[in-house]
Amino acid sequence: MLQPLKGFRDFYPEDMAFQRWFYNLIKEISESFGYQEYEGPMVEPLDLYAAKSGEELVKKQAFTWKDVSDRTLALRPEITPTLARMITQKEGSLTFPVKWFTYGRRFRYEQPQKGRGREFFQWDIDVLGSDSPESDAEIIAIAGTFYQKLGLTPAEVKIKINDRKFLQDKLTEIGIAQEKITPLFRIIDKKSKVDEKAFREMVNTETGNADITDKVIDILNDKESYKTSDWLTKMFNILEAMNLRDYVEFDPAIVRGLDYYTRTVFESWDVKGDFRAIWGGGRYDNLTEDIGSNQKIPGVGFALGDMVISELLKTNGKFPTLKTNTSSVLVTIFSPELQNDALKLSLKLRLGGINTELYSDPTSKLDKQLKYADKKGIPWVVIIGPDEKEKGIVVLKNMKTNSQETLTPEEAVAKIKTA
Amino acid sequence: MLQPLKGFRDFYPEDMAFQRWFYNLIKEISESFGYQEYEGPMVEPLDLYAAKSGEELVKKQAFTWKDVSDRTLALRPEITPTLARMITQKEGSLTFPVKWFTYGRRFRYEQPQKGRGREFFQWDIDVLGSDSPESDAEIIAIAGTFYQKLGLTPAEVKIKINDRKFLQDKLTEIGIAQEKITPLFRIIDKKSKVDEKAFREMVNTETGNADITDKVIDILNDKESYKTSDWLTKMFNILEAMNLRDYVEFDPAIVRGLDYYTRTVFESWDVKGDFRAIWGGGRYDNLTEDIGSNQKIPGVGFALGDMVISELLKTNGKFPTLKTNTSSVLVTIFSPELQNDALKLSLKLRLGGINTELYSDPTSKLDKQLKYADKKGIPWVVIIGPDEKEKGIVVLKNMKTNSQETLTPEEAVAKIKTA
């Protein structure tokens, strides 16, 4: 009972400091592009995902249970279907395109490993109500800006981009039948997980024709073909104009596992190859209809998890230095008779905008109190003894230099604030 | 499928603005008292709560299901047992007293009503490793400070304080047997929900003696008896020294429903009586042992939900005015040929620290783009036409006054920033 469940995490203040730093960065970037924050429930009916989230996610990875009315509920494995539901619900009163972001928990029953847990946080950012390649490029540009802010370079991370529709057209051109496209996409999605020979065999099983298999492989290896696509060309031009061209590359073998993607798809990889796809996203133009709306609202977005980014920052020596303790000063209690004076002083310091901890036990020796401040990493300590009380002053001690001086409370506030 | 589940909420940007404002306030107050932020998993084994969270919470209100190994898991109905677990787990490396706070979701299967949902947010703040009345007073002082910051006065909200041990001693004095104490506490906890006569009958059924029942009622009505308790006297003196005495009052009939409280208990009420207890807390000195640790670490804290506070602010006319849109400027696209210039300008504005939205469709008429900015409440719009491009300037339009001027991009940044 004394450990968290497998794949779940406790966040001690040092872990929480990373979470807060990460969230603040995400919020800053999202808002700098004009995106607004939203959130949804942590629990949804499983049906919401069953529509189009893909078999693996729904049947194998969802935490589910039945409610009293025998309806199957799920801990949300992703938030895009919730977003589609929310947009549909208020479709009449929203100004499109809607540009929204969120950061919250998702749940997947997977084998925990480096960068992956059963409960994790995810940044989702989406545009809804726009079907322009400009929106797709902007979403990818936001991810590129995120990498820039983290100090992760194009030599360390890449974003691979494709267009499912473009790939589908190419496959149709070489004679792949309509009903073979989805199964073939499922195989292509596994390309990076198997070797060349195994992949060829998987494709061949589906096409049943070695010539066509050759042509499929050729299509998947042609890194220049995007130049014949207006859509993709526009996207790459915009990313070039935004000084992000080095982060992105065309990869016709990127299709993504979620069934709801209709056009642009993209995923990011670390160049060293320590991780599998770091995060991904794409365009989903039918999702609102898929979940039962009679309005078709096009959308595009990405989802990016906290655990893999944290590992990636560590691997590349770019994990931030974070402050766990936010207290500036400890007010000690010299003796029980001087407790009220310590109390009043702590009030004064807080009113001055200083994070102030008051020692909890008025019967403790001063030495013990100083040791506590030291252990907690609190930079200043204030002492009011009988002499100080009489003179209306305080002793301010700098815990780093061990030096101390006597000041009025107002002077102490100023000193701590400017330190 | 197009609605959230009953008792669960969607957070549109306007709802999220409240959440962010509320969280920032909580964080500011908690940190001003020297408390550090933590979080835990959203799912725990049900056993963790079964120890001492009280029958109602565990058997009736918990969302539970069985995992693959037939273990019953629960969506956390509260976080105190998780906190006790976390503290126990790292007991050797923590500096006591630990002062921690958190803000996150809790889940209870209850009938949704005003101020109560099945999924809600809660602020928990606790001291662990201190058994002084000073810590109890500090926790209550934090709640009082919260009320002050919200502008809620002692004429609108009160915090009722009691000491379970003190009450138990009083009941023992009049001859109540040890084994009758817990059942009697359960009855006392219901006092405010029934009328005087019904309550008397409930007590009498338990005591089986009208004389003793009279004495119990007398004890529960004596608002001055705390003066004979050193513990409670100390607490009230501290709250007086902190200018919070008007917010607090002694009430011997407060016992709280959670079984793990051992001593101080408190709950807050609105004076008008629109709500039941707004929030509550208390001292739990045996919880780490109850969940299976061999270390006894005393604790005290409160838990306060977002929904009831939101309603309380509305009822008292103190709900904050919040900004839903955080964008400062919309960069329009005059024509597809000038798209890259608009792109470059939006980059420049963002680098200048301005939240900048770029219009999504380069083929839209300028009129439509201006209308979009107006509808979204974006205060500024920038336009680069062919003339402006040639001269290296931009048109900056103030959407409120409808006035516009031509400026260099640097001047536009300065103007928007100082507005």
How does pLDDT run across B363-384, given as a tens digit for each residue? 999 999 999 999 999 999 999 9
B360 is a domain residue: yes
Shortest distance between the Cα of B177 and any Cα of chain A, in A, equals 34
- A75–chain B nearest CA distance, Å: 9
Q: What is the pLDDT of residue A12?
A: 98
Same-domain pairing of A380 and A304: no
The two structure tokens encoding residue A247: 């982060």
Q: Which residues of A touch B242 (CB under 8 A)?
A: 343, 347
Q: Would the pLDDT of B149 be above 90?
A: yes
The partner residue sitting opposite B36, judged by closest CB among A107, A237, A324, is A324
**N- to C-terminal Cα distance for chain B?**
44
A chain contacts of residue B1, beta-carbon cutoff 8 Å: 45, 47-48, 85, 291-292
Domain that holds residue B73: 13-315
Using an 8 Å CB-CB cutoff, list chain A residues near B340.
237, 241
Residue where one domain finishes, among candidates A315, A340, A369? A315
Are both A75 and A130 inside the same structural domain? yes
Q: Does the distance separating the beta carbons of A43 and B119 come in below 8 Å? A: yes
Residues B398 and B306 in one domain: no
Beta strands in B86-128 (DSSP E): 98-107, 119-128
Whether B114 and B92 map to the same domain: the answer is: yes
* Closest chain B residue by Cα to residue A47: B1
User: Which of B21, B37, B87, B96 to substitute to test the interface with A, most A CBs within 10 Å?
Assistant: B37
| Residue with the two structure tokens 């992105």 | A248
Q: Which of B32, B41, B358 sits opposite A8 (nearest CB)?
A: B41
Is B8 within the bounds of a domain?
A: no
| End-to-end CA, chain A | 44
Q: So what's the pLDDT on residue B52?
A: 65
Same-domain pairing of B241 and B390: no
CB contact under 8 A, A31 and B327: yes
Quick check: is A210 in a domain? no
d(CA A235, CA A264) in angstroms, rounded, equals 10
Are A63 and B86 inside 8 Å of each other by CB?
A: no
Of A258, A289, A315, which one is at a domain's C-terminal end? A315
Q: Edge-to-edge strands of the sheet including A356-358? A: A356-358, A329-331, A380-383, A394-398, A404-407
Closest listed residue to residue A329, CA positions, set A243, A263, A412, A233? A412
Contact criterion met (CB < 8 Å) for B31 and A82: no
CA distance A181 to chain B (A): 29
Summarised one tens digit per residue, pLDDT across range B63-79 is 999 988 899 999 999 99
- Would residue A41 count as lying in a domain? yes
Report yes or no: B185 and B171 within 8 Å, Cβ to Cβ.
no
CB atoms within 10 A of CB B272: 12
Q: How far is A207 from chain B (nearest CA, A)?
A: 38
The sheet with strand A36-37 has its strands ordered as A36-37, A98-107, A119-128, A299-305, A279-283, A264-270, A157-163, A248-250
Question: Who among B90, B241, B343 is closest to A344 (CB)?
Answer: B241
Q: What is the pTM of this model?
A: 0.95
Residue pairs between chains A and B whose CB atoms are closer than 8 Å: 232
d(CA B122, CA B304): 5
Would you call B360 and A9 a contact, using CB atoms and an 8 Å cutoff?
no
Nearest-CB residue to A105 (from B12, B42, B357): B42
Which residue does chain A place closest to B323, by CA atoms?
Answer: A36
Q: Is residue A276 part of a domain?
A: yes
ipTM greater than cut 0.90: yes
Residue B54 pLDDT grade (very low, low, confident, very high; cuts 50, 70, 90): low
Which tens digits make up the pLDDT trace of A314-338? 999 999 999 998 899 999 999 999 9
Nearest-Cα distance to chain A for B30, in Å, is 9
Q: Do residue A360 and residue B327 have CB atoms under 8 angstroms apart?
A: no
Same structural domain for residues B231 and B297? yes
Q: Give the mean model confidence (pLDDT) for residues B137-143.
A: 98
CATH value at residue B195 = 3.30.930.10
* Interface contact A44-B326, CB threshold 8 A: no
Count of domains in chain A?
2
Torsion B261-B266-B267-B273 (CA) sign: positive
Candidates B11, B43, B99; nearest CB to A119: B43
Note whether A357 and A294 are same-domain residues: no
Q: Is residue B7 part of a domain?
A: no
Do the chains contact at A3 and B292, CB–CB below 8 Å?
Answer: no
Give the pLDDT score at B290: 85
A400 backbone φψ class: left, alpha, beta (φ>0; ψ -120 to 50): alpha
The 10 Å Cβ neighbour count of residue B154 is 17
In angstroms, rounded to a whole number, what is the distance separating the alpha carbons of residues B275 and B358?
46
Contact A31 B355 (CB under 8 A): yes
From B126, B38, B103, select the one nearest A324 (Cα to Cα): B38
| Whether residue A271 is found in the same domain as residue A413 | no
CATH number at B372 reads: 3.40.50.800
To the nearest whole number, what is the mean pLDDT of chain B?
A: 94
Residue of chain B whose alpha carbon sits nearest to that of A48:
B1
Give the pair of three-digit tokens for residue B115: 């101020």
pLDDT tens string for chain A (419 positions)? 579 999 999 999 999 999 999 999 999 999 999 999 999 999 999 989 886 666 677 778 889 999 888 999 999 999 999 999 999 999 999 999 999 999 999 999 988 888 889 999 999 999 999 999 999 999 999 999 999 999 999 999 999 999 999 999 999 999 999 999 999 999 999 998 999 999 999 999 999 999 999 999 999 999 999 999 999 999 999 999 999 999 999 999 999 987 789 999 999 999 999 888 899 999 999 988 888 888 899 999 999 999 999 999 999 999 999 999 889 999 999 999 999 999 999 999 999 999 999 999 999 999 999 999 999 999 999 999 999 999 999 999 999 999 999 999 999 999 999 98
**Whether B246 and B376 share a structural domain:** no
d(CA A369, CA A348): 20
- Residue A171: name the closest of A160, A182, A155 by CA: A182
Q: Which of B3, B238, B358 sits opposite A138 (nearest CB)?
A: B358
Mutate to test the interface with A, among B357, B372, B416 (most CBs of A within 10 A): B357
In a domain, A363, yes or no: yes
Q: Report the chain B residue with the minimal C-alpha distance to residue A330.
A: B34
Mean pLDDT of B192-201: 94
Return the HEC string of chain A: CCCCCCCCCCECHHHHHHHHHHHHHHHHHHHHCCCEECECCCEEECHHHHCCCCHHHHHHCCCEEECCCCCEEEECCCCHHHHHHHHHHCHHHCCCCEEEEEEEEEECCCCCECCECCEEEEEEEEEECCCCHHHHHHHHHHHHHHHHHHCCCCCCEEEEEEEHHHHHHHHHHCCCCHHHHHHHHHHHCCHHHCCHHHHHHHHHHHHCCHHHHHHHHHHHHCCCHHHHCHHHHHHHHHHHHCCCHHHEEECCCCCCCCCCCCCEEEEEEECCCCCCCCEEEEECCCHHHHCCCCCCCCEEEEEEEHHHHHHHHHHCCCCCCCCCCCCCEEECCCCHHHHHHHHHHHHHHHHCCCCEEECCCCCCCHHHHHHHHHHHCCCEEEECCHHHHHHCCEEEEECCCCCEEEECHHHHHHHHHHC
**B200 inside domain:** yes
Mutation target vs A (from B1, B236, B341; most A CBs, 10 A cutoff): B1
- Which of B42, B326, B360 has the CB atom closest to A127's CB atom? B360
Burial class (CB in 10 A: 0-12, 13-18, 19+), A364: middle
Last residue of a domain, one of B280, B315, B350: B315
Q: Give the closest of B17, B39, B89 to A16, CB-based.
A: B39
- A375 CB neighbours in chain B (<8 A) are 95
Number of H helices, E strands in chain B: 16, 16
CA B365, B366, B368, B369 dihedral sign is positive
Interface test with B, best of A71, A358, A378, A399 (most B CBs within 10 A): A358
Question: B122 and B246 in one domain?
Answer: yes
If asked whether residues A290 and A356 sit together in one domain, one would say no
Cis peptide bond upstream of A97, omega within 30: yes
Which chain A residues touch B243 with a CB distance below 8 Å?
Answer: 347
Q: What was the pLDDT predicted at A114?
A: 85
Q: Could you tell me if A289 and A405 lie in one domain? A: no
